[in-house]
Amino acid sequence: MLLVRRRAPEGSYFADCVRAAGIFGVIATGFSVLLGLIVFLAFESYDQSRSGAEAEARLVAQQFETAQFLPVRVRRDLGHELICYSRFVVSDWSRLTSADERTVDTANPWAIALFRTLKLTHPRTAEEQSAYDKWLDLNADRETARSDRIHGAVGVIPWSLWVVLLFITAVIFVFMLFFADSAERAVVQGMMVGSVIAVITATLLLIQFLDNPFRDGFGGLKPVAMERTQHILDTQRLLVHDTGALPCDAHGRPR
């Protein structure tokens, strides 16, 4: 803007600034409506990932409690595998923050181990049958919560929409340059175009942030809920007098 205004006529390049401002208002209004819809979509995806992570952690703790009412021969194995499941989630979280690996859906190996152990379960008493049915419900809810957690790892805003946003941003920027006025003070001209571009840039950065919830640093989702569940499971192990060795290491990798 400061370069263009050096050769700009007094009053800007537009013969009728009022009409030009009206046209600019139409462009800006359409762009703001589009931005608002995209921000809502991106925030919904971000919140779904956050809610999924919290729900998954809560359901793991509930499954551990339910496992204590299943037959004795499987309850200990199921409890150990749930602890390993939670450890793997926390350890695997860093993969979701990597741009090269977030597109690869790594299945939690302990979900398979839980399924195999559950197949060995033969509930007989009413209490065991009730716990078995409850376990299946919680297991289905946990898988749904896991899908909600990882669905935002690859983003929900398609590249075609990003191209449209950047194209409209460029159009607005060029349109603003035609308001260059050699009779206006440079600081006023700079503030006029700078404020518009600053608002648009901040909004685009917000969309990019919400579209990528798994990131290192400020605002990124962290496995706080699952780490809290790990402490809960450690406490519950003591309550049920389970001191056996776990089939995994601290990172959830099978021994």
- Interatomic CA distance for residues 240 and 121, integer angstroms: 19
One-letter amino acid at 150 equals: I
- R_g of the chain, CA atoms, integer Å: 28
Domain boundaries in the chain? 4-96+108-237
d(CA 52, CA 46): 10
**Six token digits for residue 179:** 């308001």
> Whole-model pTM?
0.80
Whole-number pLDDT of residue 229: 94
Residue 227's pLDDT is: 93
Q: What pLDDT, on the 0 to 100 scale, is given for residue 67?
A: 93
- pLDDT tens, residue order, the chain (255 aa): 888 888 888 878 887 778 888 888 888 888 999 999 999 989 998 999 999 999 999 999 999 999 999 998 898 999 999 999 999 999 888 777 665 555 445 678 899 999 999 998 888 899 999 999 999 999 999 999 998 888 877 778 888 899 999 999 999 999 888 888 888 888 888 898 899 899 999 999 999 888 888 887 777 888 999 999 999 999 999 888 888 889 999 888 888
Q: Say what the pLDDT of residue 106 is.
A: 66
DSSP 248: B
CB 165 within 8 A of CB 34: yes
- CA 223-228-229 angle, to 5 degrees, is 100
